[in-house]
Amino acid sequence: MKPVRFGFIGCGLMGRELATASLRWPHLLGDLPRPVIVAACDTSEENLNWFRKIPTVHAFYRDYRELLQNPEIEAVYCALPHALHAKVYRDIILSGKHLLGEKPFGMDLSAFETIQSAMQQRPDVFVRCSSEFPYYPAVQQIVRWFQAGAFGQVIEARFAIKHSSDMDLKKPINWKRQRDKNGDYGCMGDLGIHTQHLPFRLGLLPHMVGAQLANLVKTRPGPNGTPVPCETWDNAILSCEGHDQNGDVFPMVFEMKRMAPGCTNTVEYEIDGINLSARFTTDDPNAVYFTQSMGQKQAWTRLVVGQAPLFPVITGGIFEFGFSDSILQMLAAFTSELRGLPCAFPCFTPDEAHKSHLLLTAALQSYNEKRMVPLSLD
C-alpha cells in the first residue's frame, strides 16, 4: 500500500505522540497505508531537535509556508494554538495538502467558516479532525451495541472529560487561559470534541442547550512571576435536550473540566436505554460496564474488552489498551480513509466540527443570556 508522506506543523506534545505512533506502524496487522513523516515545522528549536530522532524526517522549517511548498509532502498534521487555525488550516487546504488538524478547527464559528470556505474551494483535499478516545476498544463495543439497536429508546446520555491540570494555583499562565489565543470557548474549545465525537457519530444530537460556565482561577503567574488575568473558562457543564435519529427526546449532558479534583485525564461516556445501558471511563480503560434494563435485576456488569481494537494489532487480546494505542488507531483511520479503504469509525469530520461550533456558540449565548438556547444540528 502506498505510504502517506506527512509534514508536521507544530511539534509539541501531540505532534510527538503522532510521530511516535507512525514508528509503531508494524504493530498493526494487515497492509495499511503507512504514514511517513518527511518534514517538521516549529518555531522552537527544542521541538525540532526532537524530530531529528525520526529517521525519515529530513526537512526542518520555522515557517510553515515553506513546508507547504515541499512537493514531497502529501498530507499535513497540524497542532497549533486555536487562534492560528483559521489562517494556517486555510493555507494548508488551499495548497492542496490533505489535513489532519487538531481541535477545535478554529477558535470560533467565524474561524471555522474560513476553513470551511477553503474546503469548498478544494473539494479534492481530504480533511479530518484529531479525536482519539472513541478508538478505545471498550468504546467501540458501545458503538457496536448502539448500531445493533441494543439500547432501545434512549433514557439519557452523558459525555465528559475531566482533568486536574489547573488544580495547582501556582501553575504559570499558558495560552489556553488567554482569550486572544484560545478564544471565548475556553475549556469547551480545548476539550469539547472529546465529548462530542461519539454522540454525534451515533446520531445523538443536542437541540437545546443551557450552559453553566466557571472561571475559577482569576490570575496565574506570568513570565516574570507577576500575576496576569486568566480570561477563559476553566469548567463547563452543558445541559441539553437531546434527540436521536428516531426523534425521541432525552436529557443529554456534556462536561468539560480543567479543574476536576481526583482526575488526571478522565473521559467518561454513558448512554442509558430502556433495554441496555453502558458506560466507559478511562479510569478503567479496558472494560465497558453494562446493565440490561428491561425486566432484569438492576446491576452493572464489568466486561473486560482488552486488546480488541478497530484495526487489529499483534498484541494478544488479554493485554491492556492505552492512550498511545488510541493515537495509533486514529492515525490508521485517517490514512485508510484517505486511501479509500473501508473504515468502520472514521475520524471526526468537518461536518461534525461544524456541529461542535454551533453547540459551543449556543452555549456561550445561553450563559450570557441566562436561558436555554435552541439549535438545529440535523
| Measured CA distances, 296 to 273, 275, 299 (Å) | 13, 10, 9
- pLDDT (tens digit per residue) in 107-159: 999 999 999 999 999 999 999 999 999 999 999 999 999 999 999 999 999 99
- pLDDT (tens digit per residue) in 331-357: 999 999 999 999 999 999 999 999 999
Least confident range from 37-41, 111-115, 175-179, 242-246: namely: 175-179
Task: Let me know: does 181 contact 192? Beta carbons within 8 Å.
Answer: no
Per-residue confidence (pLDDT) for residue 67, from 0 to 100: 98
**Confidence (pTM):** 0.96
Per-residue confidence (pLDDT) for residue 317, from 0 to 100: 84
End-to-end CA distance of the chain: 37
What's the pLDDT band for 316 if we cut at 50, 70, 90?
confident
Sheet holding 301-304, edge to edge: 301-304, 287-292, 276-281, 265-273, 154-163, 249-257, 235-243, 205-214, 373-374
- Taking residues 219-243, report their average pLDDT: 95
Q: Is the pLDDT of residue 297 over 80?
A: no
Q: Which three cell numbers, joined as nine digits, stand for 82? A: 486555536
Task: Let me know: does 337 contact 34? Beta carbons within 8 Å.
Answer: no
Q: How far apart are CA 141 and CA 78, in angstroms?
A: 30
- pLDDT (tens digit per residue) in 60-96: 999 999 999 999 999 999 999 999 999 999 999 999 9
- Taking residues 233-237, report their average pLDDT: 97
Q: Please provide the DSSP assignment of 254-307 as one string.
A: EEEES--TT-SEEEEEEEEESSEEEEEETTSTTEEEEEE-TTS----EEEE--S
Percent of the chain residues topping a pLDDT of 90: 91
* 261 prior amide bond cis, ω within 30: no
Q: Is the pLDDT of residue 306 over 90?
A: no
Percentage helix, strand, coil, to 5, in the chain? 35, 25, 40
What's the pLDDT band for 298 if we cut at 50, 70, 90?
confident
Q: How far apart are CA 141 and CA 273, in angstroms?
A: 15
Per-residue confidence (pLDDT) for residue 378, from 0 to 100: 80
- pLDDT (tens digit per residue) in 38-59: 999 999 999 999 999 999 999 9
Sheet holding 4-9, edge to edge: 59-61, 35-41, 4-9, 75-78, 98-101, 127-129
Neighbouring residues of 13: CB distance < 8 A, sequence distance ≥ 6: none
| Measured CA distances, 163 to 70, 135, 214, 289, 343 (Å) | 39, 19, 15, 21, 30
Q: How far apart are CA 159 and CA 294, in angstroms?
A: 23
SS3 314: coil
Domains of the chain from N-terminus onward: 4-129 (3.40.50.720), 133-310+350-369 (3.30.360.10)
